[in-house]
Amino acid sequence: MNSLHGPDEDVENGKVPVPDEVQEAIRTLIRWTGDDPGREGLRDTPKRVARAWKEYCLGYGEDPAIHLSRVFQEVGGYDELVLLKDIPFQSHCEHHMAPIIGKASIAYMPTDRVVGISKLARVLHGFSRRLQVQERLTAEVARCIQEHLKPQGVAVVIEAAHSCMTARGVRTPGVSMVTSKLLGCFLDDERSRKEVLSLMGY
The residues annotated as belonging to the active site are 93-96, 134, 162, 164
Alpha carbon distance 8, 200 (integer Å): 32
CA–CA distances in Å: residue 176 to residues 29, 51, 101, 105: 29, 28, 9, 15
CA distance 107 to 45: 41
User: Which among 59, 148, 142, 153 is positioned nearest to 106, based on CA atoms?
Assistant: 142
**DSSP conformation class of 72:** B
Between the CA of residue 26 and those of 31, 182, 200, what are the distances in Å? 9, 41, 41
